[in-house]
């Protein structure tokens, strides 16, 4: 009852309960103190989104309690993200103590994303793919990275498709063993259809690998054109038009998508790309 009353006060969604954020939060705190896990979750995410000076230690403790109570993938991903952000800037620190602390945070981030992934969560699965690709919190393993990223991409995660493109595109610094231009092209096209905004990169990749990709593109689109030197410009223009159409479609959908207008503490741009734009 405390949690329900507090939530109604905070959100102001009831004609019978006047909106009063401070009183509502106090009711929610009381519910959480009495072991109400949904109340603890609500207050924790409220603090993350709206508290101007969030107490990260307290937020971390609360997330750990939530995970212990119900293995919430949202709590797992949030705690992983906090550890990820903390570790990212210090892994190459010259101070060995600071570097060791960052490595521990990176390992914790991987631990929580792995727990999320094991429950089938697409965000946790995507990030485990990224971590194995980068060697962040785990030993670098491109084959494992591909496994995780394929799972996440099959669940509709556009950012995973872009990560697979990076693995297979043959860029400098990438393992040449995994170079597969045709696969990379397929991944980036699928990715931009889901809202990953690397439109210019898709266009450039097609032109850089024209001899290999033009026959694939012409066949996929069933275009009435022969592939020869004098038609190259026309084919590139048609490909440009296709990519630009996807760009326009993404911009139009994004302007109407309510997810984009939510507070940044709830969804960041990358998660919007992961989810796609409806």
- Can you give the pTM of this predicted structure? 0.84
Q: Residues near 115 by Cβ (< 8 Å), separated by ≥ 6?
A: 67, 71, 76, 124
Nearest CA among 180, 210, 196, 182 for reference residue 243: 196
Q: What are the pLDDT tens digits along the chain (278 aa)? A: 899 999 999 888 888 888 998 999 999 999 999 999 999 999 999 998 888 888 989 999 999 999 999 999 999 999 999 999 989 888 888 899 999 999 999 999 999 999 999 999 999 999 999 999 999 999 999 999 999 999 999 999 999 999 999 999 998 888 899 999 999 999 999 999 888 889 999 999 999 999 999 999 999 999 999 999 999 999 999 999 999 999 988 877 766 654 444 333 334 444 444 444 43
Alpha helices per DSSP H over the chain: 2-11, 21-33, 37-50, 56-70, 73-88, 96-118, 122-134, 142-154, 158-168, 181-193, 199-208, 210-221, 232-256, 269-275
Q: Residues near 235 by Cβ (< 8 Å), separated by ≥ 6?
A: 210, 214, 217, 218, 223, 225, 227
Angstrom distance (rounded) from CA 180 to CA 114: 28
Extents of the domains making up the chain:
156-278
**3-state secondary structure (DSSP) of residue 13:** coil
The DSSP call for residue 55 is -
Is 235:221 a contact under the CB 8 Å cutoff?
no
């Amino acid at each position: 009852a405390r949690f329900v009353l507090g939530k109604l006060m905070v959100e102001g969604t009831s004609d019978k309960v006047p909106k009063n954020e401070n009183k509502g939060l106090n009711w929610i705190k009381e519910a959480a103190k009495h072991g109400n896990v949904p109340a603890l979750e609500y207050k924790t995410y409220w603090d993350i989104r709206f508290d101007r000076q969030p107490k990260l230690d307290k937020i971390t403790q609360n997330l750990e309690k939530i995970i212990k109570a119900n293995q919430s993938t949202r709590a797992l991903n949030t705690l992983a993200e906090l550890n990820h952000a903390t570790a990212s800037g210090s892994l190459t620190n010259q101070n060995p103590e600071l570097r060791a602390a960052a490595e521990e945070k990176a390992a914790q981030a991987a631990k929580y994303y792995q727990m999320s992934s094991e429950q089938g969560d697409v965000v946790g699965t995507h990030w485990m793919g990224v971590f194995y690709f980068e060697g962040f919190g785990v030993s670098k393993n491109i084959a494992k990275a591909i496994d995780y990223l394929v799972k996440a991409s099959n669940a509709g995660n556009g950012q995973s498709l872009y990560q697979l493109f990076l693995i297979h595109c043959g860029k400098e610094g990438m393992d040449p063993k995994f170079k597969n231009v045709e696969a990379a092209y397929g991944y980036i096209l699928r990715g931009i259809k889901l809202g990953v905004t690397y439109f210019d990169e898709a266009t450039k990749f097609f032109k850089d690998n024209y001899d290999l990709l033009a026959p694939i593109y012409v066949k996929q689109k069933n275009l009435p054109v022969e592939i020869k030197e004098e038609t190259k410009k026309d084919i590139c223009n048609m490909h440009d038009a296709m990519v630009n159409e996807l760009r326009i479609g993404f911009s139009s959908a994004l302007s109407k998508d309510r997810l984009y207008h939510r507070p940044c503490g709830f969804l960041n741009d990358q998660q919007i790309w992961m989810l796609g734009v409806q």
